[in-house]
A and B are shown apart, each in its own frame.
Chain A
Amino acid sequence: MEFKHKTPLLDQLETGPWPSFVTDIKQEAESRKKNEKNIEYQIPVDCCEDLLGVLELSYVHKRTHWKHGGIVGVFGYGGGVIGRYCDQPEMFPGVAHFHTLRVNQPAGHFYTTEYLEKLCDLWERRGSGLTNMHGSTGDIIFLGTTTEQLEEIFYEMTHNLDQDLGGSGSNLRTPSDCMGESMCEFACYDTQALCYDLTMEYQDELHRPAFPYKFKFKFDGCPNCCVASIARADLSFIGIWRDDIRIDQEAVKAYVGGELVPNAGAHAGRDWGKFDIQKEVIDLCPTKCMRWDGEKLEINNPECTRCMHCINVMPRALRIGNDRGVCLLAGAKAPILHGAQMSTLIVPFMKVEEPYDEIKELIEKLWDWWMEEGLNRERLGELMKRQGFQKLLEVTGLKPIPQMIQEPRSNPYIFWKEEEVPGGFKRDIKEFRKYHQR
């Protein structure tokens, strides 16, 4: 099909084995042009063609052609819509106004086709027909519509799809989770239930920006951390257990004997030789808390730091413990502004039980502190660094424990508080001088 703009550079991305986004956009452009279903498109029919045109121009200039966002949104919400305008509207009128909507994804990114179909119908008619499945934070992203359509889309979404927008701006960003108990035997708590509950509990914080900056919750079911909560979330929920790893000795023998495939088959593409439990499990254990005598596998559980390696290698022989809960870490963020941070452990273990009051109490204490003291565009992790861990302990009431640190401080510059030092800070210089001449 002949399109509005020639795209010789982008066309070079239509070959090779990996799926081509260029081909896919062209497919949508063609579908809109033909309009075999007689859809009454509510935004320019040629928006996909103009999107290819403006992208081609960026491939020539090696610079973006999107303007700085604009303040658009739906009534009563301060997030969920990102304004986007093209800086060459005369050349590409179809994408002159091309706003993004963030649609709060269902937990675990599970869908029925019936629901997906409705999403497609809505977005084909009222938007560009282009999406991200999914955006970095986890939302379904609707990529490109006009200002007039925003309220219409929101109305249809809330009335016909029972579906709300996600977060953007200085608010609670759309929480996201791993597949958790839905499909994974490593999950130490129901990530999807907790994610959904907190998302519902904090709808106001999600839609109406009242924070110094963004705030992210992410829920990982185990220390393998498939949603990268430790790197990305202001509050990272990572599932762990505190009792013993369950061992099926017969299955261990079956791994050693070669009847079971180690690593759940993850290394099957190369000949790494016969499975060697001593070399591949026992010796790689970071705390060296395991022993194999040829007959029996022993784990000295109090020494175990639950790194998941042995369980990942022998999932049919070793299983997570039964006394499960969540480990809470706070303060991760990407490098902007003062360098990247990972989350820091603040609560080693908490049971995850509805209605999750203990978790909510902690969240709210952290938010109270951050909303009171946080500077404009300061993430929680930066506030923790600026005001210090002692302050975090003070505002949360958490008890200091060695699990919170990698090592004690190496400088003695302790900010002693007056009440910690007998007699306080007020002293009489005259009394002092009676014994110490000037």
Chain B
Amino acid sequence: MAFISSGYDPENPLKDRITDIGPRKGSEFYPPIIKKNKGKWLYHEILEPGIIKRVAESGDELYTIRAGGCRLMSVSLIREIISIADKYCDGYVRWTTRNNVEFMVDSKEKAMSLKEDLLSRKQPGGCYKFPIGGTGAGITNIVHTQGWIHCHTPATDASGTVKATLDVLFDDFTNMKLPAKLRISMACCLNMCGAVHCSDIAILGYHRKPPMIDHEYIDKLCEIPLAIAACPTGAIKPAKVELEDGTTVKSVAVNEERCMFCGNCYTMCPSMPLADTEGDGIVLLAGGKISNRITAPKFSKVVVAFIPNETPRWPTMTETIKKMVDTYAADARKYERFGDWAERIGWEKFFEKTGLEFTHHLIDDFRDPAYYTWRQTTQFKFT
């Protein structure tokens, strides 16, 4: 493995340095039909799950074929996408905001032959490489974070929980039979790189044990005042600790009753790890949305406080999600998003119909907003 220089000179890092040039301009990568019709699209129509026809004022027609996939993608797979795009799409391709690959062609015939080609491509274990769907009143790809594959704070895996969930809900990816679209998102800790807090269903990794403290190293590795300041509940205070060898070191003490397991201290200080086999797992939230359609955007609500990390397929989690989706599909009215349905029938009915257990964990006790989630009326339903 011989080192190959790019031309960079470590002795003189500023030589020929190019900085602050920003991204490539998206418009240089537009297919010609988009260059020509940008801002002049007339309407669109979903011909079948995953295939959208877009018609411009000029009469031009654009067909997009949406294929689900993993956001974790090898260059080998990208090269396969390249070869498909070269063969059918004149060398253009795009991704959607939810990690789907979108192929663009200019006729229905091409769209149909591309569809056939994509569906014929399978991985050795039988998984589709390019499942087609993710449009209209169904589910689309689950956006997610890194998880155990590449992050230091996760309370669960991201790619694995998503794969397991999408296998169970696959039928709703390739169909459009739900009352409205259903957006599922996954974040492997509450830092929420994926900002899942406004999703119809959110899968969230969560810790349940306070941080351990590496007294011997904390003062060497961390700025103790920053770790103390990082705690949103003021649960961390400075402490002097005597080590086994009799030396006294500067460290911290954690008021465990006050800890809400957010991991913010660990973000500031690597000597306060939280990860734990039994402590960590999944929280499920539901009923959020970001669209302004009919009702205002809303936050997702915690409906299951904890599910253990059942590797490799998280069966309790996927069964619970499936139960929620199926109950919603059977009970909601056309156009009703998950949260709108739950609000119409009432959350007490939501728990009755889904069979999810209601526990004290689900009643908010975190600061001011908590009060606004309690019921201040005699209007409720018996369940």
Contact = CB atoms under 8 A, between A and B. Distances in A.
A16 B163 contact: yes
A133 B99 contact: yes
B351 interface: no
Interface size class of B (residues with CB under 8 A): 35 or more
A336 B45 contact: no
B92 interface: yes
Contact of A307 (B54, B69, B123, B294): B294
Contacts of B287: none
Contacts, number: 438
A294 B163 CA distance: 48
Interface string A244-267: 000000000000000001011111
Contact of A23 (B96, B124, B144): B124
Contact of B128 (A19, A196, A306): A19
A431 B120 CA distance: 93
Contacts of B137: 263, 266-267, 269-270
Interface string A90-117: 0000000010100011111111111111
Contacts of B243: none
A342 B299 contact: yes
A158 B18 contact: yes
Contact of A203 (B20, B52, B190): B20
At the interface, is chain B mostly helix, strand, loop or mixed? loop
B75 A183 contact: no
Contact of B160 (A59, A67, A199): A59
Given A63-B276, A159-B7, A337-B264, A207 B19 contact: yes
Nearest to A177: B26
A354 interface: no
Interface in B282-317: 290-295, 297, 299, 309, 311-313
B74 A342 contact: no
Given A20-B123, A112-B91, A104 B19 contact: no
B5, B150, B311 — most chain A CB neighbours (10 Å): B150
A106 B26 contact: yes
B251 interface: no
A21 B72 contact: yes
Interface stretch (A226-234, A388-396, A397-405, A419-427): A226-234
Interface of A: 9-10, 12-25, 27-28, 31, 40-42, 44-45, 48, 51, 55, 58-69, 75-77, 84, 98, 100, 104-117, 119-120, 123-125, 129-138, 143-144, 148, 151-156, 158-159, 161-164, 166, 174, 176, 178-179, 181-185, 187, 190, 192-193, 196, 199-200, 203-204, 207, 223-228, 230-232, 261, 263-270, 272, 280, 284, 286, 306-309, 312, 315-316, 334-340, 342, 376-377
Given A62-B309, A132-B71, A265-B47, 14 more contacts: A55-B149, A60-B311, A106-B25, A111-B94, A113-B92, A133-B101, A134-B95, A136-B145, A204-B20, A228-B290, A308-B292, A336-B262, A340-B198, A340-B299
